[in-house]
């Protein structure tokens, strides 16, 4: 198991307040909730999807204009991460980081 990080930054001086949670979005036409939003900023979103091999965690930036995707292999818990302007592009790049070939 490995840890990682992008560029290390200083922790903000302002108090962070209480931890909060993303909440479910409105259900789609099929009655299924597929996303989560920051209750104070509905442009800040999270979505989790999976198939038989991979879990994808998509996190939008605070304004909803860019995406960070973490791809996790279900069997071994290895991971890859990517940032792109488009959610699908971030997912493809994160999977390329995770899997060979």
The more confident residue out of 48 and 26 is: 48
67-73 vs 54-60, strand pairing mode? antiparallel
Question: Structure pTM?
Answer: 0.88
- pLDDT value for 93: 97
Q: Do residues 69 and 79 lie in contact, with contact meaning Cβ atoms separated by under 8 Å?
A: no
Q: Per residue in 5-42, pLDDT tens?
A: 889 999 888 888 889 999 999 898 999 998 999 999 99
CA 30 to CA 86: how far, in whole Å? 25
pLDDT surpasses 90 at 101: no
CA 99 to CA 43: how far, in whole Å? 30
Cα–Cα nearest to 3, from 67, 61, 77: 77
pLDDT surpasses 90 at 1: no
């Amino acid at each position: 198991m490995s840890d990682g990080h992008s560029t290390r930054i200083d922790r903000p001086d302002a108090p962070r307040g209480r931890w909060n949670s993303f909440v479910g979005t409105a259900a789609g036409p099929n009655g299924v909730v597929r996303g989560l939003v920051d209750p104070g900023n509905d442009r800040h979103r999270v979505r989790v999807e999976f198939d038989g091999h991979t879990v994808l965690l998509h996190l939008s930036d605070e304004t909803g204009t860019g995406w960070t995707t973490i791809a996790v292999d279900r069997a071994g818990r290895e991971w890859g991460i990517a940032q792109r302007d488009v959610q699908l592009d971030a997912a493809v790049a994160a999977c390329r980081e995770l899997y060979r070939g």
